[in-house]
């Protein structure tokens, strides 16, 4: 179905009235399906929930104007009662999140692999709803916690809802669902004092991890810059588990799902993340909202890695083990379609909070594997909604309804919405003509892939799951030097917060299995030695009556030395679309330069804000009035990707003397961002700490390696500055660590 446009609502920043029409918003089958459930109060009378018009919403009904309030006041009671019950339990994990609507389109029919209609029909635009999230923090916690990010996508297909409930990392901490409550109890705030919020840097988490060697690979990801995305729009997504595709002939293949962001994969620095958490805890939520609101729609390509059924045992790891990825060098990712997020929700609670994802929301042509983590998830996601959304009818909430009709014999329960007609609510039945009837496979009925299983019933784990370290090492070896340093720093930070020395030692024993240099660097930072009794340290997870042969990690060496796809250093760096650029200015600023650079940056897709000592307007050197977006008091360099200082004698003198302006630049330098200044603004840079590190010349080469450009020619400056911003960060700058910002 083609995307249609209708008039939508938005916020007019200059008007008092919200809900001012702000152009068109894309509509799709799901948006139309939501329409009967949406309400717009513009121009309407206020009523009670029974539709009675309200005459006075300011005063309760009293015995005299100073008198006691009367129990009779049904309007007061209704309003307060509803308010008293407004909250629902937050998600037990992934409580903090942000959602958006969009569409998915497949490039070419994938019928050879899967019969899923939405992956066959190139004309179909499948509506999607996506929710990004952190994992450990509560609903009101910061977006910039060091954490895994959830990446849950619902496709509203013509065959029912398909949910791809993934993360921004391709592996997981544990191999078996039975360990999930332990993992989450360990990472959540400690139960006696509910500290710390949205952080893994505490004893219980690392206690559990140090006793769970299977988490090693995931720990490398979680301690890497992947855990600090610059934006939800700049993260990869992964289905994590191995799934199955099944084609119309019944031929199955294994599949791993990927989302590849067209803007590339980018991160912020840890120090920056901590600052953002204070300056704007809604940083990712705001970033997603603003991008969609401004029409810069985030896009991802859906990728698949396909492994034929007969190759199941071809790899040196088990395809069913969720702590392993399939290196892209072994099985390339084929990009089969594109998702575009093009519409913000109308109501956070109704849509983003009430959406209930579940791996078991599946369509014909896609099926599960026996990954024991996946199998456990198939139970959890419906079960958890019973508490969170209050009963079994959560599928009737508008955001959860499929765009195709629902007919079955499930009935009643709290808050039932559907009015099912007829006498029968059972099957088979003769009275109702045996409807609703079962669908044959050829009619679209879902038939599970008839995998042959012949096995004993055991509580056990396959020996093929016991290589705990080789892919952790592969990940570490695949990182660039700055990325490796960040991992070392992250581990030193996190374990530095751990009070129990024995936990730190156990972690060093694990790190020593991954990379000796990494373990040594972290040991140095912690001021302790790598324990000598490594084997003993590693085997502490073995139960007292357990045979080490059944539990101990296997030492396997990856046949692959490196995999470039695992590093963010090689990601897309060709655009500055939606990057935020600060221009520092004051009265007397050189208007010509400012406008020239601003225009060039904006034409390249950047978002520019003018920052000055105070709000209102500044008067430029040619008397032009320039609107100020943020004052230095309210703004912070950590909320921007790059900074430019135009010339103009008075402006330069003001900024040079302004501690906040100098701090802004120092901090931008510390966080490795692109910095530009007109030549006659050089004295502002001279006031910074990094003036000693200014390059000798400003050729394209130096700008691309050092990220700083100074020029007296606005056009040249803009061109080089834009190239520098596209590089994202100049991590090499971190080496000399003497920046006072």
Annotated catalytic residues are 94, 167
Choices 289-297, 378-386, 427-435, 659-667 (CB under 6 A): range interacting with ligand HDE: 378-386
Of 156, 172, 205, 475, the one binding ligand HDE (CB under 6 A) is 172
Among 34, 100, 165, 223, binds ligand HDE (CB under 6 A): 165
**Minimum CB distance to ligand HDE, residue 129 (Å):** 10
Which listed range, 90-98, 341-349, 510-518, 566-574, lies at the site for ligand HDE (CB under 6 A)? Answer: 90-98
Q: How far is it between the farthest Cα atoms of the chain?
A: 91
Q: Which of 96, 101, 115, 131 binds ligand HDE (CB under 6 A)?
A: 131
Please choose, from the candidates 240, 97, 242, 71, the residue with its C-alpha nearest in 3D space to the C-alpha of residue 168: 240
Of 180, 449, 551, 689, which lies in the binding site for ligand HDE, with binding defined by CB under 6 A?
180
Interaxial angle between packed helices 501-514 and 470-477, expressed in degrees from 0 to 180 and rounded to the nearest 10: 80
Q: Counting contacts by CB under 6 A, is residue 93 touching ligand HDE?
A: yes
| Distance, CA of 690 to CA of 734 (rounded, Å) | 12
**In the complex with ligand HDE, which residue's Cβ is closer, 101 or 579?**
101
**Complex with ligand HDE: residue 117 or 135, whichever CB lies closer:** 135
DSSP 348: I
DSSP three-state, residue 370? coil
Q: How many CB atoms lie within 10 A of CB 345?
A: 21
Q: Which is nearer to ligand HDE, 387 or 427 (CB)?
A: 387
Q: What is the sign of the dihedral through the CA atoms of 688, 694, 700 and 701?
A: negative
559 DSSP assignment: S
Residue number, 30 or 131, with CB nearest to ligand HDE: 131
Q: How far apart are CA 564 and CA 682, in angstroms?
A: 39
Question: Smallest distance from the beta carbon of 97 to ligand HDE, in angstroms?
Answer: 5
The residue range among 10-18, 252-260, 360-368, 369-377 that interacts with ligand HDE, by the rule CB under 6 A, is: 369-377
Nearer to ligand HDE, 354 or 654 (CB): 354
Rounded distance, CA 65 to CA 585, Å? 56
CA distance 470 to 560: 10
Query: Is the separation of the CB atoms in 684 and 677 below 8 Å?
Result: yes
- Nearest Cα neighbor of 740 from 673, 658, 682, 659 is 659
Does residue 326 contact residue 315 with C-beta atoms inside 8 Å? yes
One of 189, 376, 390, 432 touching ligand HDE (CB under 6 A): 376
CA 180, CA 219: separation in Å to the nearest integer? Answer: 15
Considering Cα of 132, then 134, then 139, then 140, what sign does the dihedral take?
A: negative
Pick 92 or 251: Cβ nearer ligand HDE? 92
- Which of 381, 449, 551, 617 is close enough to bind ligand HDE by CB under 6 A? 381
Which of 334, 380, 562, 595 lies at the binding interface for ligand HDE (CB under 6 A)? 380
- Structure-block tokens of residue 487: 């991992």
Residue with smaller CB distance to ligand HDE, 240 or 661: 240
Among the candidate windows 65-73, 87-95, 458-466, 634-642, which touches ligand HDE by CB under 6 A?
Answer: 87-95
Pattern 228-267, ligand HDE, x by CB under 6 A: ------------x---------------------------
Q: Nearest distance from residue 173's CB to ligand HDE, in Å?
A: 8
The number of CA neighbours under 13 Å toward the Cβ of 80 is 8
The encoded tokens of residue 426 equal 């059972």
Kindly list the residues in this chain that would bind ligand HDE in the complex (CB under 6 A): 91-94, 97, 131, 133, 150, 152, 165-167, 172, 177, 180, 240, 355-357, 373, 376-377, 380-381, 384
């Amino acid at each position: 179905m083609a995307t249609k446009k209708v008039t939508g609502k938005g916020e007019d920043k200059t008007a008092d009235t919200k809900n001012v029409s702000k152009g068109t918003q894309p509509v799709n089958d799901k948006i139309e399906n939501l329409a009967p459930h949406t309400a717009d109060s513009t121009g309407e009378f206020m009523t009670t929930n029974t539709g009675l018009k309200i005459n006075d919403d300011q005063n309760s009904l009293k015995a005299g104007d100073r008198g006691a309030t009367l129990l009779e006041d049904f309007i007061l009671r209704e309003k307060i009662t509803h308010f008293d019950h407004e909250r629902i339990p937050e998600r037990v994990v992934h409580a903090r999140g942000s959602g958006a609507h969009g569409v998915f389109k497949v490039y070419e029919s994938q019928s050879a692999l899967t019969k899923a209609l939405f992956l066959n029909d190139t004309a179909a635009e499948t509506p999607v709803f996506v929710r990004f999230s952190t994992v450990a923090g509560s609903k009101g916690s910061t977006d910039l916690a060091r954490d895994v990010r959830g990446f849950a996508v619902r496709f509203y297909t013509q065959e029912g809802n398909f949910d791809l409930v993934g993360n921004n990392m391709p592996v997981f901490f544990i191999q078996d669902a039975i360990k999930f409550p332990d993992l989450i109890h360990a990472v959540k705030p400690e139960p006696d004092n509910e500290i710390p919020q949205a952080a893994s840097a505490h004893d219980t988490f690392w206690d559990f991890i140090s006793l769970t060697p299977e988490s090693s690979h995931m720990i490398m990801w979680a301690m890497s810059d992947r855990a600090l995305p610059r934006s939800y729009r700049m993260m990869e997504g992964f289905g994590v588990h191995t799934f199955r595709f099944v084609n119309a002939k019944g031929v199955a293949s294994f599949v791993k799902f990927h989302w590849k962001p067209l803007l590339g994969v980018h991160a912020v620095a840890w120090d920056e993340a901590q600052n953002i958490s204070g300056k704007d805890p809604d940083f990712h939520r705001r970033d997603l909202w603003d991008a969609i609101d401004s029409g810069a729609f985030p896009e991802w390509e859906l990728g698949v890695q396909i492994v034929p059924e007969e190759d199941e045992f071809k790899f040196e790891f088990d395809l069913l083990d969720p702590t392993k990825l399939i290196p892209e060098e072994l099985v390339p990712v084929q990009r089969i379609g594109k998702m575009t997020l093009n519409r913000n929700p109308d109501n956070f609670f109704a849509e983003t909070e009430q959406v209930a994802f579940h791996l078991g929301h599946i369509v014909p042509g896609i099926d599960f594997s026996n990954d024991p983590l996946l199998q456990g998830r198939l139970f959890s996601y419906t079960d958890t909604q019973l508490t969170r959304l209050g009963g079994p009818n959560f599928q009737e909430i508008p955001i959860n309804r499929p765009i195709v009709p629902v007919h079955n014999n499930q009935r009643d329960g709290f808050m039932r919405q559907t009015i099912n007609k007829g006498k029968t609510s059972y099957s088979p039945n003769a009275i109702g003509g045996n409807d609703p009837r079962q669908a044959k496979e050829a009619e679209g009925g879902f038939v599970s892939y008839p995998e042959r299983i012949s096995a004993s019933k055991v509580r056990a784990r396959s020996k093929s799951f016991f290589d705990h370290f080789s892919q952790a090492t592969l990940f570490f070896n695949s990182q660039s030097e700055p990325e490796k340093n960040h991992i070392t720093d992250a581990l030193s930070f996190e374990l530095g917060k751990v009070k129990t020395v024995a936990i730190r030692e156990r972690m060093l024993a694990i790190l020593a299995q991954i990379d000796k240099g990494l373990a040594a660097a972290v040991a140095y930072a912690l001021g302790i030695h790598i324990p000598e009794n490594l084997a003993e340290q590693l085997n502490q997870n073995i139960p007292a009556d357990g045979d080490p042969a059944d539990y101990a990690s296997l030492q396997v060496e990856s046949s692959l030395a490196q995999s470039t796809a695992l590093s963010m250093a090689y990601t897309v760096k060709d655009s500055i679309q939606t990057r935020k650029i600060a221009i520092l200015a004051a009265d007397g600023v050189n208007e010509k330069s400012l406008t020239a650079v601003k225009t060039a940056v904006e034409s390249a897709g950047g978002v520019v804000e003018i920052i000055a000592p105070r709000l209102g307007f500044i008067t430029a050197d040619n008397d032009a009035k320039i609107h100020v977006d943020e004052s230095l008091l309210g703004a912070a360099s950590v909320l921007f990707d790059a900074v430019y200082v135009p010339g103009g004698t008075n402006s330069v003198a003001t900024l040079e003397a302004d501690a906040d302006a100098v701090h802004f630049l120092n901090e931008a330098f510390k966080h490795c961002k692109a910095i530009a200044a007109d030549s006659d603004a050089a004295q502002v840079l001279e006031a910074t700490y990094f003036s000693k590190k200014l390059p000798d010349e400003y050729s394209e080469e130096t700008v691309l390696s050092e990220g700083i450009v100074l020029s007296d020619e606005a056009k040249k400056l803009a061109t080089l500055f834009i190239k520098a911003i596209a590089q994202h960060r100049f991590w090499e700058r971190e080496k000399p660590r003497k920046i006072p910002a």
